[in-house]
Amino acid sequence: MHSETLNGKTVVVKYGGNAMKNERLKRAVIEDVVFFHKVGVRIVLVHGGGPEIEAMLRALSIESRFVDGLRYTDKRTMEVVQMALCGRVNKDLTAMIVQNGVRAVGISGIDGGLLRARPTTAKDLGLVGEIDAVDSGFLSVLLDAGLLPVVSSVALNTKAGELGESDHSLVLNINADTAAPHIAAAIKAKKLVVMTDIAGVLRNVSKPESLIPQITLAEIPGLKASGIISGGMIPKIDGAVRAVENGVQDVLIIDGREEHALRDALSADRKKGTTITRY
């Protein structure tokens, strides 16, 4: 798949993981995003900020807690998530893109009511949400204006009024691996690219050569049952399933620790990462 075939098409890129801590890799991601925007690809950059959140939590002596690869978010943690994601991380990424000659706009899932969610009931994660709705029209306005949206993964809490809690319950933390597929599906994106800290889906996590290059939706239950898809890969795969089932052509899970991994994934014959397809 070469970049010219994506001209005029929308690609949602989920950016996160430890690569965000490496300035060289961060610059490479921004260069790739800028490159594709300039050749006519409609890019939406959805980001997490785990490393930044962790650093802030440590500085404030707040303990991190994870449940099945997802962050447990209490009220104090939610304050830090908002500060990190909607503040420093979002604006730093936006500034870097603008400095490279592209009109980017940094927003959160709160802005314009882009993401609306309710507290998750699948497991006790505190102020972590399940997305109910995405305002695709809001993003379309930005994209049609030639802007590059940079979206931080928080959402409005649709149950806040019922909960009767403090103002912090107005906002929910959303895993970026969850937010990006919802956004991709809502705006009918051609592709979703998930940048992570592993080469892709591996049959043996200690052996990069055990990479599975392509997975169909029908194969996923078996890979989960066997434990090949587990831990932090579960939300990524679940998000990929949602995206593909809702019209996204394919989902690419790539190693964000490799310089210019995004450009390689979208511009050349792919020999790295895992592609999730319907069939």
Residues pairing with 108 in the sheet: 152
CB-CB neighbours of 31 under 10 Å = 17
Amino acid 70: pLDDT: 72
User: Could you tell me the strand order of the sheet in which 171-173 lies?
Assistant: 129-134, 115-119, 154-157, 171-173
Question: Three-state SS for 254?
Answer: strand
Residues pairing with 47 in the sheet: 15, 152
Q: What is the pTM of this model?
A: 0.93
Q: Is the pLDDT of residue 167 over 60?
A: no
Amino acid 69: pLDDT: 67
* pLDDT tens-digit readout, 20-38: 889 999 999 999 999 999 9
What end-to-end distance do the CA atoms of the chain give, in Å? 17
Average pLDDT value for residue range 39-59: 94
The count of domains in the chain is 1
Amino acid 121: pLDDT: 86
Residue whose C-alpha is closest to residue 175's, from 123, 247, 213: 123
Q: Domain residues for 73?
A: 3-277
CATH (domain of 128): 3.40.1160.10
* pLDDT tens-digit readout, 221-236: 999 999 999 988 998 9
Q: In angstroms, what CA-CA distances link 29 with 5, 13, 16, 129, 211? A: 20, 10, 11, 27, 23
Q: What is the chain's alpha carbon radius of gyration, rounded to the nearest angstrom?
A: 18
Report which of residues 145 and 235 the model is more confident about: 145
Question: Three-state SS for 15?
Answer: strand
Residue whose C-alpha is closest to residue 47's, from 10, 87, 74, 8: 87
Average pLDDT value for residue range 162-176: 72
Residue whose C-alpha is closest to residue 45's, from 222, 194, 159: 194
Q: Is the pLDDT of residue 261 over 90?
A: yes
Q: Is the pLDDT of residue 151 over 60?
A: yes
